[in-house]
Amino acid sequence: MEIKYPKVTVKRLEEDGNDRAIIWRVTGAMRRAGVSIESIKEYIQEAESGDYSHLIKTTKSYINVE
């Protein structure tokens, strides 16, 4: 799987257990890395379009997760 923004990294998503907290952390990391607001909105829309597993899968397709 190719990551859209390989220079953006966050640590351990599953520990959060809260979808809002994950999206907040990921979008913050994306902003700090200079990702466009349009791309961040695209991520949020895709991440919110399914269940928690979908959120994790989508996040891992957009950024690096350690």
In this prediction, residue 44 carries a pLDDT of 98
Per-residue pLDDT of the chain (66 residues; tens, 9 = 90+): 799 999 999 987 766 678 999 999 999 999 999 999 999 999 999 999 999 999 999 999 999 998
Are the beta carbons of 50 and 41 closer than 8 angstroms?
Answer: no
Are the beta carbons of 30 and 4 closer than 8 angstroms?
Answer: no
Question: pTM to 2 decimals?
Answer: 0.89
In this prediction, residue 15 carries a pLDDT of 65
H/E segment holding residue 9? strand 5-10
22 — alpha (psi -120 to 50), left (phi > 0) or beta?
alpha
Are the beta carbons of 29 and 9 closer than 8 angstroms?
Answer: yes
Between the alpha carbon of residue 46 and those of residues 23, 25, the distances in Å are 11, 16
